[in-house]
Amino acid sequence: TPRVFSGIQPSGNLTLGNYLGALKRFVEMQESDIETLYCVVDMHAITVWQDPADLRHNTREVTAAYIACGLDPAKSILFNQSQVPAHAQLAWIFNCTARIGWMNRMTQFKDKAGKNAEKSSLGLLAYPALMAADILIYQATHVPVGEDQKQHLELARDIAAKFNHDFDTDFFPSPDPLIDGEATRVMSLRDGTKKMSKSDPSDQSRITLRDDADTIAKKIRKAKTDPEPLPETLKELEGRPEARNLVNIYAALSGRTAESVIAEFSGQQFGQFKPALAELAVDHLAPITQEMNRLMADPAEIDRVLGNGADRAAAIAEPILDKTYDIVGMVRSR
């Protein structure tokens, strides 16, 4: 049976990249009949240092964003990772399935560890094994993610395949990444070759779900572009990553193709296009931000949603963990 799983790290302010690459698509998946689980992956967040008070706040804020974007806790299972211990338990098994060489090849590890790989946490290296466990502890078949997670998804498939091979079973499905839409990789507003990220040191590089209307408009007005007007075809945007990024964002927010956006604005300068984009972004994001703020006024209610979600998630995960332990040969006497 098909089952959708995905997650977001509570590691800072959610960006327009997280919204278009993940949140918006989570909501679309919920509208299908498929069972959907959406996790706030707090255990992933601590692979780099998180202040405890910030971690608590951000965990609740990602949950508020889930709900404000349209996820319904009665339809989707919304929970935080650390409240379902089976994620960590399966991750240990997968740490013993995956090879160190596989982890060393991950571009996200290389980017985040930088030159000082020896000083990064062991958890940062093992991150993709925990991610494989997040997905496979539910035997999830479909994982909506942004382009940057593609390599980790391939690794999850490799782990499932090696486990199945080692133990001569077909227990774990091979999860399919769902990477689609016009904004699978939203780029920084300051540098069209870098992805928009929560952890970029420059606040001007991203639009966040905490920004008010004026801030959004200002960031878009100041976004890096080039002096050329918008061309007639997408092909002519090659070599103009900043321009391409703004067109993609416009397309994704309006639910249109990048082709139709370029056709409409062709010949116009960014002085005309940017205000139209800013208006669209504000129309889209302001109600979400407002609803998030309303929900954040009642943290106890958010915690209740997470607790309920964790109970429902654990009810699916525990029998799968039991079966995994049996396959591996762990004695179960209780």
Residues contributing to the annotated binding site: 9-11, 17-18, 134, 146-148, 186, 195-199
Least Å distance, CB 331 to ligand AQP, is: 36
For the record, the structure tokens of 157 come out as 């498939």
* 190 contributes a contact to ligand AQP by CB under 6 A: no
Catalytic residue of the set 24, 195, 219, 274: 195
CA distances for 180 relative to 14, 25, 36, 177, 299, angstroms: 20, 9, 17, 9, 33
* Interface of this chain with ligand AQP, residues 62 to 91, rule: CB under 6 A: none
Q: Quick one: which segment of 5-13, 168-176, 229-237, 275-283 binds ligand AQP (CB under 6 A)?
A: 5-13
* Residue 139 near residue 177 (C-beta atoms within 8 A): no
- The reply to whether 274 belongs to the active site is no
For the record, the structure tokens of 263 come out as 């056709």
- The reply to whether 110 belongs to the active site is no
* 25 contributes a contact to ligand AQP by CB under 6 A: no
Q: Which of 39, 135, 145, 220 binds ligand AQP (CB under 6 A)?
A: 145
Q: Which of 35, 61, 134, 148 binds ligand AQP (CB under 6 A)?
A: 148
Total binding residues toward ligand AQP, as defined by CB under 6 A:
22
- The reply to whether 195 belongs to the active site is yes
Which among 194, 134, 188 has a CA at the least distance from the CA of 159?
134
List binding-site positions for L-tryptophan. 134
Provide the CB-side half-sphere exposure for 29 (13 A, CA): 29
CA distances for 320 relative to 85, 135, 140, 165, 254, angstroms: 13, 12, 11, 18, 40
* 11 contributes a contact to ligand AQP by CB under 6 A: yes
Q: Quick one: which segment of 16-24, 82-90, 168-176, 309-317 binds ligand AQP (CB under 6 A)?
A: 16-24
* Residue 59 near residue 80 (C-beta atoms within 8 A): yes
Cβ-proximal residue to ligand AQP, closest one: 21
Spatial distance between the Cα atoms of 38 and 22, rounded to a whole number of angstroms:
10
* 15 contributes a contact to ligand AQP by CB under 6 A: yes
For the record, the structure tokens of 167 come out as 């133990």
Indicate the Cα dihedral angle 292, 298, 304, 305, nearest 10°: -10
* 195 contributes a contact to ligand AQP by CB under 6 A: yes
CA distances for 144 relative to 22, 82, 158, 184, angstroms: 7, 21, 18, 10
Q: Which of 3, 5, 17, 225 binds ligand AQP (CB under 6 A)?
A: 17
Spatial distance between the Cα atoms of 164 and 327, rounded to a whole number of angstroms:
10
* 197 contributes a contact to ligand AQP by CB under 6 A: yes
Catalytic residue of the set 150, 162, 194, 198: 198
Q: Report the 10 Å Cβ neighbour count for 280.
A: 15
* 182 contributes a contact to ligand AQP by CB under 6 A: no
* 186 contributes a contact to ligand AQP by CB under 6 A: yes
* 194 contributes a contact to ligand AQP by CB under 6 A: no
Point out which residues bind ligand AQP (CB under 6 A).
8-9, 11-12, 15, 17-18, 20-22, 145-146, 148-149, 184-186, 195-199
